[in-house]
Amino acid sequence: MLPTISVDDSKCENPLDCRMCLLACPTRVLGLGTNVGPQKYRETDPSHFVVRGVRHQFCTMCMKCVDICPHDAIRISLDQGVMA
Amino acid sequence: MCVWCEQYAGGYERWYLNPANYARRLYKVRREETEASGAEANPQAAGGMSAVGREFLEAKERGDHEAVARMKKEAEQRLWQIHFGQVVTREELDQILDIIYPIALMTCACRRSMRGLPDDENFTCIGMGPGMYKWERWPDTYRGGVHFLTPDEAREVVDVLNRRGLAHTVYTFGTPYLGGICNCDYPDCGGLRTAIDLDVRVVWKGHYVAQVDPDLCNGCGLCARRCQFQALTFSPSTLQAYIDPLKCYGCGLCRNPCKPDAITMVERESMPALADVW
């Protein structure tokens, strides 16, 4: 079964600078992207960067990302309803 | 036969050696939807780096081969119109560097997504063609900006990336227009992840396949760490390099550390059973 990975964007304020979860994940399950399209003539505001589970099939639920997140923003569960 | 050469070589030996495929207009009327989003090539929005979503992974996991095949086909048809790559050798890259202008060193969107790599550590991509003037003009939009290079400077950069062990790939931005030379590795290249992990062909194998000459291979094993495609391993049985020709992408990186020159690049299409393995 594929783990469900959820990130609370309101707690995860600046993943581009923090990136601790990205570096902690042994298998690059997580991806950093933006929740807006291209911003003409200006840099994308850091608040628009988001972390998402992408390559779920490689998640072993080792919880390294959950543990290292300084804002407690990541949840991983096997059952969609019950958060580990 | 490589379908891209069939359609877009225009009399040249390969489609990516045809200068017309680097001549995308600087400004264009966007087509709707998918084409537009690919042509936009927003390196940040591309951050998810996933050509298929969770529903594809779920279908794979429950063994729904029909759904997997359908989603794979849909994703590939979309990608091949917009943004896909093909592996090229260092020698072919030399030929490409002689026909493209301008040449711009830029940041890698994949490594930003995978590792959150800061811009100043992330100049491993080469953009090409008039589109790069937009990156120069609006560096804030296009994260990290660009450094323009002469062909000789580009060769030096490419040599460093090659020594690091990064495989060279040309990428379309609105097929057949080629806009980028990516220098890729597993597991941090989104394209390779999609191609190798999921068998969704966002990266095509190149026109060559590496072969080991067992009479020459001295078993040093240095080549094994060069393969980014899980095709080359060191065989404990023969104490020599082993290359799976069906997995080889033909980047040629394994040749470089080989002292006895035991690895040669063979034309894919010279082997009938490989001619359609891309």
- The ipTM of this complex is 0.88
Alpha carbon distance B263, B215 (integer Å): 11
- The confidence score (pLDDT) of residue B10 equals 96
| Bridge partners, residue B178, by sequence | B172
Contact B116, B72 (CB under 8 A): no
- The confidence score (pLDDT) of residue B34 equals 45
Measure the CA dihedral B39/A19/B202/B138, to 10°. Answer: 20
The answer to whether residue B37 scores a pLDDT higher than 60 is no
Provide the pLDDT confidence category of residue A80 given band limits of 50, 70 and 90: low
List the single range of B42-51, B52-61, B154-163 with lowest mean pLDDT: B42-51
List the single range of A17-26, A73-82, B216-225 with lowest mean pLDDT: A73-82
| Cβ neighbours of B193 in A, within 8 Å | 28, 55
- B38 vs B238, higher pLDDT: B238
Q: What own/partner pairs with CB < 8 Å and gap ≥ 24 does B194-200 have?
A: B194/B49, B194/B50, B194/B51, B194/B52, B196/B229, B196/B230, B197/A55, B197/A57, B197/A58, B198/B51, B198/B52, B198/B56, B198/B60, B198/B72, B199/B72, B200/B51, B200/B52, B200/B56, B200/B72, B200/B75, B200/B76, B200/B79
Report the residue from B44, B50, B58 with minimal CB separation from A34. B44
For residues B263-269, give the mean pLDDT: 97
Report the residue from A22, A27, A44 with minimal CB separation from B116. A22
Q: Hey, what are A3's tokens?
A: 């783990």
- The confidence score (pLDDT) of residue B30 equals 57
Provide the pLDDT confidence category of residue A6 given band limits of 50, 70 and 90: very high
Domain ranges of chain A: 4-36+48-82
Alpha helices in chain A (DSSP H): 15-18, 20-24, 64-68
| Cβ neighbours of A18 in B, within 8 Å | 116
CB contact under 8 A, A37 and B143: no
CA angle B82-B87-B93, nearest 5°?
Answer: 105
The answer to whether residue B64 scores a pLDDT higher than 90 is yes
- The confidence score (pLDDT) of residue B182 equals 96
| Cβ neighbours of A57 in B, within 8 Å | 57, 60-61, 197
Provide the pLDDT confidence category of residue B145 given band limits of 50, 70 and 90: confident
CB contact under 8 A, A33 and B113: yes
For residues B87-105, give the mean pLDDT: 96
The answer to whether residue B116 scores a pLDDT higher than 70 is yes
| Cβ neighbours of B116 in A, within 8 Å | 15-16, 18-19, 22-23, 32
The answer to whether residue B122 scores a pLDDT higher than 90 is yes
CA angle B202-B207-B208, nearest 5°?
Answer: 120
Report the residue from B47, B50, B57 with minimal CB separation from A32. B47
Q: How many CB pairs under 8 A join A and B?
A: 82
Alpha carbon distance B157, B173 (integer Å): 22
How many Å lie between the alpha carbon of A16 and the closest alpha carbon of chain B? 6
Please state which CATH number belongs to domain A4-36+48-82: 3.30.70.20
- The confidence score (pLDDT) of residue B46 equals 41
Residue of A nearest to B144 (CA): A43
List the single range of A13-17, A72-76, B17-21 with lowest mean pLDDT: A13-17
CA distance between the termini of chain A: 14
Alpha carbon distance B85, B190 (integer Å): 11
List the single range of A46-60, B87-101, B179-193 with lowest mean pLDDT: A46-60
Provide the pLDDT confidence category of residue B85 given band limits of 50, 70 and 90: very high
Counted residue by residue, chain A has a size of 84
- The confidence score (pLDDT) of residue B35 equals 39
Alpha carbon distance B73, B119 (integer Å): 34
Share of residues in chain B with pLDDT > 90 (%): 78
Alpha carbon distance B229, B209 (integer Å): 12
How many Å lie between the alpha carbon of A26 and the closest alpha carbon of chain B? 10
* Chain B contacts to A (CB-CB under 8 A): 40, 42, 44-50, 54, 57-58, 60-61, 112-116, 138, 140-141, 143, 187-188, 190, 193, 197
Three-state SS letters, B101-118: CCEEEECCHHHHHHHCCC
Contact B30, B36 (CB under 8 A): yes
How many Å lie between the alpha carbon of A8 and the closest alpha carbon of chain B? 16
Residue of A nearest to B187 (CA): A28
Provide the pLDDT confidence category of residue B161 given band limits of 50, 70 and 90: very high
Contact B168, B162 (CB under 8 A): yes
Those residues whose C-beta lies under 8 Å from the C-beta of residue B256, and which sit 6 or more positions away, are: B162, B163, B226
For residues B47-74, give the mean pLDDT: 88
- The confidence score (pLDDT) of residue B49 equals 58
Provide the pLDDT confidence category of residue B33 given band limits of 50, 70 and 90: very low
How confident is the model over B203-257, as pLDDT tens digits?
Answer: 999 999 999 999 999 999 999 999 999 999 999 999 999 999 999 999 999 999 9
Whose CA is closest to B125, among B139, B146, B142, B140? B146
- The confidence score (pLDDT) of residue A46 equals 81
Distance from chain centroid for Cα B8: 18
- The confidence score (pLDDT) of residue B39 equals 33
| Cβ neighbours of B114 in A, within 8 Å | 22, 28, 31-32
pTM of the entire structure?
Answer: 0.91
Report the residue from A33, A40, A56 with minimal CB separation from B57. A56
Query: Mean pLDDT in chain B?
Result: 90
- The confidence score (pLDDT) of residue A39 equals 67
Report the residue from A19, A55, A57 with minimal CB separation from B116. A19
Residue type, B47: G
- The confidence score (pLDDT) of residue B207 equals 98
Alpha carbon distance B161, B173 (integer Å): 22
